Structure 1
Amino acid sequence: MTTSSSIAVSAIAPRKPFSQSALGTLLVLPALTAIALLYALPLARSLITAFRDSDGTWTSEHIARAFSLYGRDVLFSIGVVSASLTLIALVSIAIAGYLVLGTTPWAVRMLRWLYRWPLFIPFVVSGQLARSFLSTNGMMNGVLVESGLMAADSAQSFLDWRGLVLTFAWKQIPFVTLLLAGAMAAIDRSHIEAARNLGAGRLRCLFNILLPQAAPTLWVGLILSLVAMLSVLSVPLMLIAGNPTMMTSMMAHRITYYGDYGIANALGLFSYALTAMTAWVYLRLTLRREATA
């Protein structure tokens, strides 16, 4: 009886992992299907279209024409994104550092309550707010003129690259700050207390203790912000009317008015390359950090 029971158990046991793996596959299948249909397939089609002519032959003409027609827009996009990321990093480090190291409770509570607001505002609303705030007769110039800090005839519009940088930074700073502040708060407080006991100030604790340990999280936030800024269409259309402008605007213009998906997808390749290069730098730094740890 015991022998027959053990044989039956041994016959049934190997089927258990198979059923569990099948169940796991069924659970992740909807997510994998959505990723394949909404991301992987459009990416593959855009890459193929960028290197194929209308008659189906492989060519690099789309890349050459895209750079010759919109080279200034590519460089403009790189400059705007670089300036925005620099501003995002500086302000996020400052806010996250004060949230962790601040000694004034009411200031920390107020800052924690205020800085998250733009996180819940869509990009299209951010563009409209920036348009009404940064224009020649907008709120910013109106406040400066009414307060006597600027003459009325000196008011100028910031609806150019400066407006893009400020809008992108204002929108993405809460996201990066939220990640960075969480990473800094997770660091062992004994490191900070030991440094403070040895006479280190808050700035030294921030840049020598907190920031080096939270740097990977900062890089992740900046890379995700880079992807968001390169994919936004509403903000450049609202703030900039002429050229040069962001690559997303030129891609939409090329498709809407010319139906030219080849050059539009070739412009998209520059966005892919910029994002991939940033991700590669992050991976290199992470691997080097792990190797030296």
Structure 2
Amino acid sequence: MNNAQTARAAGTERTAKIPSSIWKWLAGAGIAAPAVSIVGIFFVYPFIQSLTESFRTEDGAYTLANYGKAFRLYAGDMWFTLWVSGLSLGLLLLLSVLLGGLLRLKTASFVEFLFKIPLFVPFVVVGHAMRVFLAPHGTLNSALMPLGLYDPDQVPSIAFSTAGLVLALVWKNIGFALLLVLGAFRGVDNSYLEAARNQGAGSFRLIKDILLPMGKGSIGVVAVLTFSSMMGSFSIPAMMGSADGRQMLMVDLYYQIVYQQDYGVANALGVISYLVSMGAAIYYMKKVAKA
């Protein structure tokens, strides 16, 4: 056997000694590397930068002053953001479960299509459209005026109120929520539904006792993703505004960057939003890992 053949035989022997589990681990790491890199570059690194800058003052010192100022100025807006996001999420889940259940039990392709339209509408367009639709002399009031439901001299408006903001957020997210919930409900075997029907269960009982428990994993994922999206929403709150002066946190963050140029407080607000959403993100990751 010459030297070349000896070297190839030795290389083959070393390769054969590498456990298959290591090869599998290397293959898995190679597949996951692009996704992990994107998360690291576009999420982890900016978060670390924001976290670091949130403690830095204008003179370069590291203190909690930015957080103190953020809570002093925007504590009310923090609670308002949580309230709006929580209320919107509750209404969204209720609507998506009821609609998803009805569409699972009785196919209505056109209705399903209508509720998926918000998926393709940009946030800015939703904010502007809702502002026009809900304005004092907007589309909704113009349609209701002939019914004599209110005094034309005192036209009600929910365009710049908490109710208007909640309606806009729910409408924008209903398509995404319904898509996931309906997918989970359609994964439930018909035999369960037929067995319940044979026992006299109606549509509401089928949704409450069969579809909802069996689709709770997907509903939890919907809750996590939509809550995080609502917490970080900027375009709709900026377009809808608030008549009583309260704002969502992302609007406050924009104000600090553009008008006050106080990047320390802006980063502090961003970190606070991250921390509020972190529990939801951890829950989501656990669900993905179990799937």
Alignment TM-score, normalising by the size of structure 1: 0.85
Q: Distance in 2 between matches of 1:23 and 1:213?
A: 34
Counterparts of 1:1-293 in structure 2, within 5 Å, are 9-13=12-16, 28-102=32-106, 105=107, 108-158=108-158, 159-240=160-241, 243-279=245-281
Q: Distance in 1 between matches of 2:251 and 2:272?
A: 14
Q: Larger deviation: 21-30 or 45-54?
A: 21-30
Q: Distance in 1 between matches of 2:173 and 2:180?
A: 11
Alpha-carbon distance, 1:56 to partner:
3.6
Q: Distance in 2 between matches of 1:275 and 1:29?
A: 25
Q: Distance in 2 between matches of 1:42 and 1:186?
A: 38
SS in 1 for 2:156: coil
Q: Distance in 2 between matches of 1:239 and 1:141?
A: 17
The one-letter amino acid of 1:168's match is L
SS in 1 for 2:253: helix
Alpha-carbon distance, 1:198 to partner:
1.3
Q: Distance in 1 between matches of 2:168 and 2:63?
A: 38
Residues 1:14 and 1:120: Cα distance change in structure 2 (over 3 Å): farther
Residues 1:55 and 1:19: Cα distance change in structure 2 (over 3 Å): farther
Residues 1:236 and 1:21: Cα distance change in structure 2 (over 3 Å): same
SS in 2 for 1:152: coil
| Identical positions, percent | 34
Alpha-carbon distance, 1:65 to partner:
1.1
Q: 1:73-110 CA distances to partner (integer Å, 9 max, x unpaired)? A: 111111111110011011101110001112xx5xx222
Q: Larger deviation: 11-20 or 123-132?
A: 11-20
Alpha-carbon distance, 1:246 to partner:
0.4
Alpha-carbon distance, 1:36 to partner:
2.0
SS in 2 for 1:154: coil
The one-letter amino acid of 1:10's match is E
The one-letter amino acid of 2:49's match is R
Alpha-carbon distance, 1:9 to partner:
4.3
Q: 1:127-169 CA distances to partner (integer Å, 9 max, x unpaired)? A: 0111110111110111111344433223222122111100000
Q: What 5-or-longer segments of structure 2 have no aligned partner?
A: none
- Asked if 1 retains the 8 angstrom alpha-carbon contact of 2:81 and 2:248, the reply is yes
Residues 1:38 and 1:7: Cα distance change in structure 2 (over 3 Å): closer
Q: Distance in 2 between matches of 1:214 and 1:22?
A: 35
Q: What 5-or-longer segments of structure 1 have no aligned partner?
A: none
The one-letter amino acid of 1:227's match is S
- Asked if 2 retains the 8 angstrom alpha-carbon contact of 1:230 and 1:271, the reply is yes
Q: Distance in 2 between matches of 1:160 and 1:283?
A: 34
Q: 1:9-40 CA distances to partner (integer Å, 9 max, x unpaired)? A: 43454579788876765665444333222211
SS in 2 for 1:200: coil
Task: Name the Cα RMSD after superposition.
Answer: 2.9
SS in 1 for 2:153: helix
